[in-house]
Chains A and B, each alone.
Chain A
């Protein structure tokens, strides 16, 4: 057991190469970077798509719907491979960047549905009351609808972030070196499966638990302001 720990985590994995811990820490960095940037893209894209989806203009509405259906109807792995091997084939694009774009686009579809549901859950009377006082639509959205919608949106958005974090574990399929790939690499080099895989799982768990803890705190703070 001690020997296995040494071989998988502490000793050089190959001549003048890193040890397992370094490899996993580097992978962890990639996982975190991809997740954070993909979330940022996902939220911005999600807001845009949600607004398009609720627009009265048919062309915008249809585009947003097609986008959502396309993304939700195909596996994220296929999307990742298409982005990297097809869309960016001609460009020498960094694997991490490709992954960020693929996961951002993917997450945008889910986030837009979360936002749309959150806005539509605010009672129709709120908009009517605001408009009846003479507020323009935009002001009513900003002052009345959105602050209430955020409270519906936040918990679901937190879930989406956690799902996204875990989904990034397929980055290895395009040759990116994320946390999952690091764990798996150690396994194939050392022929020792238990320690690297369990270690990988534990690190993911720590990440998701931290995320859900932060989100729970944010939610509590929102409740207090009621």
Chain B
């Protein structure tokens, strides 16, 4: 589903990703953990080309997205993304936030998109907020709308960039519940997270990234229960 080969990324002189290779299969849930500045967000953002890799290849469903001839907008329709800072459109209502892209991109009629939005809002437990503007929602509610917005495009893959890091602690649960629900429905997901409990419970595999390389790549019980690398041990001892 996703295949990454020898990914490098420089920001000016600084090499942030130093040769990463990884494969994600359909229906897998991958958590990415690691210290801040390790390159985990950059890695995730390369998967839908919000960051352009300096070298290496990324295949999504067989298409090399680093090939300049690839239609990146078509690709992004298949890869949904949820951001740490939600990034809801403040001048649009909850309904419009969800329906704008599918309607404007000609994927759905207005009626279809409205029905889809209502269904998605029900799924994330916010059907009563359909007419609200983002400024009237709590952080947890905003993030759930952001998830619904990404799902409205019917993506095959969902990327989560620290989806709970900007939330007040009491709202983390409601967002994680929605993500867990998605995982149980078989969505292919890559989640950058600091929620170790979540990573342990939901993921098929956990990647520990440090200094731009994948240090360990294992099922959660192995990685958390029996970390091999010194850096992994050190990191886990600090966060657990």
Interface residues of A (CB under 8 A from B): 123, 125-126, 128-136, 139, 143-144, 147-148, 225-226
Please determine whether A135 and B104 come into contact, CB atoms closer than 8 angstroms: yes
Known contacts A139-B104, A143-B100; is-contact A132 B80 (Cβ 8 Å): yes
A134 to B48, CA, bound (A): 10
Known: A126-B87, A143-B104, A147-B91. A132 touches B48 (CB 8 A): yes
Judge whether A131 and B133 touch: CB under 8 Å. no
Cross-chain contact A134 with B87 (CB below 8 angstroms)? no
Interface of B is mostly: mixed
A143, B149: Cα distance in complex, Å:
15
Chain B residues contacting A143 (CB-CB under 8 Å) are 100, 104
Q: Are the C-beta atoms of A133 and B149 separated by less than 8 Å?
A: yes
Assess the A129–B83 pair: CB atoms within 8 A.
yes
Q: Which of the candidate stretches B58-66, B71-79, B184-192, B232-240 sits at the interface with the other chain?
A: B71-79
A135–B101 contact, CB under 8 A?
Answer: yes
Contact partners of B85 in chain A: CB under 8 A: 123, 125
B90 at the interface (CB under 8 A from A): yes
Question: Please, how many angstroms separate the alpha-carbon atoms of A126 and B85 in the complex?
Answer: 10
Q: Is B105 an interface residue (CB 8 A)?
A: yes
Within 8 A of A (CB), among B76-124: 76-77, 79-81, 83, 85, 87-91, 100-101, 104-105
| B residues in contact with A225, CB < 8 Å | 91
Min Cβ gap A135→B in Å is: 6
Contact A134 B133, CB 8 Å, known A128-B83, A129-B87: no
Bound-state Cα–Cα, A130 to B105, Å: 11
Q: Is the CB of A134 within 8 A of B50?
A: no
* Dominant secondary structure at the A interface: helix
Chain B residue at minimum C-beta to C-beta distance from A147: B91
**What are some 20 contacts across the A-B interface (CB < 8 A)?**
A126-B89, A128-B87, A129-B83, A129-B146, A130-B89, A132-B50, A133-B76, A133-B80, A133-B101, A133-B149, A133-B150, A133-B153, A134-B76, A134-B77, A134-B105, A135-B73, A135-B101, A139-B105, A148-B90, A226-B90
User: A133–B150 Cα gap in the complex (Å)?
Assistant: 7
Docked Cα-Cα span, A135 to B90, in Å, equals 17
In the complex the two chains form, is B50's CB within 8 Å of A131's CB?
A: yes
Instruction: State the CA gap A143–B133 with chains docked (Å).
Output: 16
Distance A81 CA – B149 CA, assembled complex (angstroms) = 56
A132 contact set on B, CB distance < 8 A: 48, 50, 76, 79-81, 83, 150
Residue in chain A with minimal CB distance to B48: A132
A134 touches B90 (CB 8 A): no
- Min CB distance A181 to B, Å, is 45
